[in-house]
Chains A and B, each alone.
Chain A
């Protein structure tokens, strides 16, 4: 999993039926010092509570779909937690 910052939302009315009800957020991946690293990704919100500005952790590849209520969905990044604190 990687740290990320939610920087926006994506609204798509027309989408494959499997994605109905799935919220999409734009997430900027961060390095471990919480500096932006790489290209922003569109991630499904697996916790249903994330919003712009929040520090989150995301999982990629096949495991992203596992965070969804229906685990057989075409999703390649998902937010699986909201970070309260990164303790040294």
Chain B
């Protein structure tokens, strides 16, 4: 999994059916100290995260499909947690 910062939302009317009713979050990937590493991803929100929050992102298809409950979903990245703190 990766740590990210939510920097925006992606609004899409025309999409694959599995995305209907789901919020898409634009997330910068960050290192453990919270600095963006230059990568980003668009992830499906599973926890109610919003802009500015630090989140936990799973970027692997099998886990993503389990979360959305659809075996054939074309989804890889899902926000699965809101990070309170990173220590160490």
Contacts and interface: CB of A to CB of B under 8 A. Distances in A.
Interface string B1-19: 0000001111111111001
Given A1-B41, A3-B42, A86-B26, A57 B74 contact: no
Contacts of B76: 1, 59-61, 63
Given A57-B42, A63-B74, A87-B8, A47 B15 contact: yes
A64 interface: yes
A39 B1 CA distance: 26
Interface of A: 1-3, 31-32, 46-47, 49, 57, 59-67, 71, 78, 80-88
Given A1-B41, A32-B26, A57-B42, A86 B74 contact: no
B75 interface: yes
Contacts of A46: 16, 74
The DSSP consensus for interface residues of chain A is mixed
5 nearest CB pairs, A to B: A81-B15, A67-B74, A1-B42, A66-B74, A81-B12
Contacts of A61: 61, 76
Interface residues of B, number: 27
Q: Which of B19, B72, B74 has the most CB of A within 10 A?
A: B74
Contacts of B51: 88
B80 interface: no
Contact of B61 (A3, A62, A85, A87): A62
Contacts of A78: 74
A62 B74 CA distance: 8
A83 B10 contact: yes
Interface string B21-58: 00010101000000000001111000000010000000
